[in-house]
Structure formats: C-alpha cells, structure tokens
C-alpha cells in the first residue's frame, strides 16, 4: 500500500468517526435493549472496574454533546490506527530477526 492509499483509508475512517458518529442512532443496541426488556440491566450498575478517560465516546467537559462525540471518535480512530500499525510493525520486525 502506498502513502496515498493509507491516507485515503485513514481519512474515510476519521470522516465516519468525526462527521457521521454524532448523528448515529441514540437507541440502545441489541444487548442493551434485551437487558432492559428482560430486567437484567441493573446487573451492570456496578462501580466500573477501571475508570476510562473518555467514557461513552464523549470527550469530557465539552458543552456540545455532538462535538464531544466527534472529538472522541477522531481520537479513537487515530489511536487504534497507531496501535494496529505499531503491533503489525512489531511482529514484522521480530519475524525478520
């Protein structure tokens, strides 16, 4: 893959996470909905085992909820791009050695 193709793939992903994600359906997903309907949602109401820096894809201290989601989405997309490439490069290097 050349630089142009990598940039294209990354830009499409950042576009989805930054521009479209604030307009995603706010309804609960399949599992959450079933947990509500079948009455086991409260089992999840426990103190989080680990306190995440950006809970619920919403950048903290942002007045606009849409903007908070946009920022969280863009940051997350770039982060997992970095981890994905980094991990692949790491195993590639070990394989050559």
Partner 1 sequence: MHIPDGFLTANTWVPAWLISAGGMSYCLKKTARLLKDKIVPLMGIMAAFVFAAQMLNFPVMGGTSGHFLGGVLAAVLLGPYAGAVVIAVVLTAQCFIFQDGGVTTLGANIFNMAFVGAVGGYFIYSLIRNITKDNQGIIVASGIAAWFSVVVASSACAVELAISGTSPLGVALPAMAGVHALIGIGEAIITCLVIGFVLKVRPDLIYKKGE
Using CB under 8 A as the binding rule, whether residue 28 contacts partner 1 is answered as yes
Nearer residue to partner 1 within complex by CB, 48 or 63 = 48
Nearer residue to partner 1 within complex by CB, 34 or 67 = 34
Least Å distance between CB 63 and partner 1?
20
* Whole-number Å distance between alpha carbons of 95 and 89: 10
Rounded to 10 degrees, what is the CA torsion of 13, 16, 17, 23?
Answer: -170
Residue 40 has phi, psi (to 5 degrees) of -120, 15
Among 12, 64, 65, 67, binds partner 1 (CB under 8 A): 12
């Amino acid at each position: 893959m050349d630089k142009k193709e990598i940039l294209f793939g990354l830009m499409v992903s950042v576009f989805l996470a930054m521009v479209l994600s604030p307009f995603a359906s706010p309804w609960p997903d399949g599992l959450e909905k079933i947990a509500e309907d079948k009455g086991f949602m409260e089992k999840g109401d426990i103190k989080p085992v680990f306190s995440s820096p950006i809970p619920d894809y919403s950048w903290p201290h942002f007045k606009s909820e849409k903007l908070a989601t946009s920022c969280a989405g863009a940051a997350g997309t770039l982060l997992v791009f970095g981890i994905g490439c980094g991990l692949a490069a790491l195993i590639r290097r070990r394989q050559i050695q």
